[in-house]
Chain A
Amino acid sequence: GENVEQHPSTLSVQEGDSAVIKCTYSDSASNYFPWYKQELGKRPQLIIDIRSNVGEKKDQRIAVTLNKTAKHFSLHITETQPEDSAVYFCAASMAGGTSYGKLTFGQGTILTVHP
């Protein structure tokens, strides 16, 4: 099955700096890569996603890049703010077949933005 590795496990930045979180996946058939933000005790919230036919996607301060050949994708947050502090998870899934829609999550990154 799919295996997703996420790094770093913790990331501490100063307000205004950029933050980058990286993930690698093992199954070349995966074609959907969402990123979630989870605050303590709450549900994961989708912040951005990318499909395998796209190399980069941006939404205001958040961007995601995908390298299908290397099987890795990254989350970039610019101009970080204290409210960005949370746990971030990457995930991968593939459409079609019996695995359709199944998300495999990375281990998570605890992002702390210091004022």
Chain B
Amino acid sequence: GAVVSQHPSWVICKSGTSVKIECRSLDFQATTMFWYRQFPKQSLMLMATSNEGSKATYEQGVEKDKFLINHASLTLSTLTVTSAHPEDSSFYICSAAVAGLDTQYFGPGTRLTVL
């Protein structure tokens, strides 16, 4: 149980284009989803927290107009990287949690490469 999927697993795009990444909880309803970014050989950095039906809460330094997050249902959250640039190339990982429980279940990650 507690499986989280992400799609796509990898994507290559041209600079200036937008990319959407989906995060789904497959066998449970996630009241909260988190989006992380991980650069090579670095730790996971929280970008934003999203609750179903509410606006996402962004961490300091993360541009909310560049990283659009939508959490329209209890099983789906999306991250859209708008006008992507090479410096946005990274490993993006989502996680999902249930209200009242500490454990976060991580997705497999999406490798974004911006040319």
Shortest distance from the beta carbon of A97 to any chain B beta carbon, whole Å: 12
| B111 contacts the other chain (CB 8 A) | yes
- Flag if B43 contacts A89 (CB, 8 Å): yes
Taking CB atoms, residues of chain A closer than 8 Å to B109 are 41-43
A42-B109, A43-B108, A43-B109 given; A107·B46 CB < 8 A: no
- Flag if A43 contacts B93 (CB, 8 Å): yes
Taking CB atoms, residues of chain A closer than 8 Å to B108 are 42-43
Taking CB atoms, residues of chain A closer than 8 Å to B49 are 101-102
Interface residues of B in 27-45 (CB under 8 A from A): 32, 34, 42-45
- Flag if A103 contacts B93 (CB, 8 Å): no
A43-B109, A101-B34 given; A51·B43 CB < 8 A: no
Please report the total number of A residues contacting B with Cβ < 8 Å. Answer: 23
Taking CB atoms, residues of chain B closer than 8 Å to A44 are 44, 93, 106
Q: How far is the CA of A32 from the CA of B97 in the complex (A)?
A: 14
| A93 contacts the other chain (CB 8 A) | yes
Write the chain A residue with the least CB distance to B93. Answer: A43
Taking CB atoms, residues of chain B closer than 8 Å to A42 are 108-109
- Flag if B46 contacts A102 (CB, 8 Å): yes
Which of B34, B45, B102 meets A49, CB within 8 Å?
B102
| A47 contacts the other chain (CB 8 A) | no
A43-B93, A98-B57 given; A105·B106 CB < 8 A: no
Which of B43, B44, B111 meets A41, CB within 8 Å?
B111
Could you give 23 example pairs across A and B, Cβ below 8 Å? A41-B109, A41-B111, A42-B109, A43-B93, A43-B106, A43-B108, A44-B93, A44-B106, A45-B106, A49-B102, A89-B43, A93-B102, A98-B57, A101-B32, A102-B49, A103-B46, A103-B95, A104-B46, A105-B44, A105-B45, A106-B43, A108-B42, A108-B43
Query: 11 additional contacts, CB 8 Å, given A100-B32, A103-B95?
Result: A34-B103, A43-B106, A44-B106, A45-B106, A51-B102, A89-B44, A101-B97, A103-B46, A105-B44, A105-B45, A108-B42
